[in-house]
Structure 1
């Protein structure tokens, strides 16, 4: 009798454990499915507009508003219709300067369908000054000439290892743009001779090469490229990060007493149509506000 009871008890314990495991697996499956649905259908559309204030002695009267757009990745995962909605978001921000820090396009196949992109970009912050740099996707997937053409037709000035001086609201500032550090021409000296008394914004698509520019009088460096990992998992963090985007991943970094860098999460997606714990971002910088 005792032997039968012990066997019955063991089978009951095993049954309880199997039942518990089945319930746990079911819960994990439901949670995983919910996360996938959220990352596919919801988070890519939850655009966050982040606001930042950057003071500088040379910007004395009123604020200059800079809006950074990066990593839009027009293509399979970012339609022109959706891009037009993003432009509406930006237009409401009343930017003085719009800086496009690379990866507007996603791939060469997509680029062939981009005839209407200039029409959309012309609506973007009409009256604002607009500058852009290359990202790796414009080079990597054969979109270099298309990108140049789109920018020319939509009022953007492309900066490729060069600096320009602009006067806006009676204030003078300098804007520099580096070529793509992966496929373009690396030039760590093109900013030699700039005026250190002026506020200086540096557009650098891949964030990690900033270490080569630490002696340059730069006030604000704006980067993208990383998408903040695009998919950020509990415990694991960001398991996939791109080349030259593994050290400075997202948000603010203070490099010198003068220079700060902001790495935006960007707007679009590449490789996978998911974002998880990495909401798309439009970054706004008010310069001269204390």
Structure 2
């Protein structure tokens, strides 16, 4: 009886071990399938109000849409981009903002024309604005990206600011820094002659650039680059964030007197996975406290 019991226990142990191993492999396979094919296509829309006494009354309820990091060509197609453009237009923004990394490898990309046309179709009566990301400068892409944005009627802000008028005398500033990795960000030039009493939005690809500009007259910095880490684990958070987004990964932060918002981006880079970190469009509504 003792020998038989030992055999039964051994068989039972091996059976449980097989079940556990099979279950682990199955869950891992399902998790990889979800992270590779499902979550990267689950676009989330974040809706946020920006309130300030510096926002003119005529800008109350003005809607801005922020998108970032499409990385076209790396597991993100023109067809997907077309759907994104349709989603943005359906939201009827007054202002469209793009914070860089349009194409993953600009000098190797073959569908510049269709992408330019789709960007041109974005409708925003108060303007469309963009900045350089590291991938826009990388791959000999600086002039390619500039050409795309100019033909698509975007204002490409490189260490400069623009006045955005809603009524004849009412305006806010939208400013843009050059990329912090492959460009030459120059805050002094960017904020030269800015009226500190006017509401000022800064577009900066890397969120960590806020440490460079936090003492300048900025009300809100909008950034991308981090992808939210792309892969997050429960109780741990993102397992990797790129240089330039190690301190600020996603969502809102307060850095001195500046509010910082980090968008998770649309596409993926390096690895084609997203887990607990879906792609994001952010819709900001301006609210005047005057």
TM-score w.r.t. length of structure 2: 0.93
Distance 1:253 1:87, change over 3 A: same
* Residue aligning to 1:60: 57
Shift of 1:148: 0.4
* Residue aligning to 2:260: 261
Task: Identify unmatched segments of 5+ residues in structure 2.
Answer: none
Counterparts of 2:32 and 2:193 in 1: how far apart (Å)? 50
Distance 1:31 1:169, change over 3 A: farther
Shift of 1:110: 4.0
TM-score w.r.t. length of structure 1: 0.93
Q: Which of residues 159, 162, 168 in structure 2 aligns to 1:161?
A: 159
Runs of 4 or more consecutive aligned structure 1 residues displaced over 6 Å after TM superposition:
none
Matches within 5 A, 1:137-152: 137-152=135-150
Matching of residue 217 in structure 1 with residue 217 in structure 2? yes
Distance 1:126 1:237, change over 3 A: closer
* Residue aligning to 1:176: 175
* Residue aligning to 2:283: 284
* Residue aligning to 2:244: 244
Counterparts of 1:111 and 1:247 in 2: how far apart (Å)? 32
Shift of 1:86: 0.4
Counterparts of 1:186 and 1:128 in 2: how far apart (Å)? 25
Whether the aligned pair in 2 keeps the contact of 1:111 and 1:146 (CA below 8 Å) is no
Matches within 5 A, 1:1-290: 5-58=1-54, 59-61=56-58, 62-169=60-167, 171-190=170-189, 191-256=191-256, 258-288=257-287
**SS of residue matched to 1:288:** strand
Counterparts of 1:242 and 1:216 in 2: how far apart (Å)? 25
Cα deviation code 1:193-248 (max 9, x no counterpart): 31111110000100012111111121111000010111113354322210111110
Shift of 1:15: 2.5
Counterparts of 2:107 and 2:275 in 1: how far apart (Å)? 26
**SS of residue matched to 1:115:** helix
**SS of residue matched to 2:65:** strand
CA RMSD across the alignment: 1.7
Aligned residue pairs, count: 285
Shift of 1:68: 0.5
**SS of residue matched to 1:261:** strand
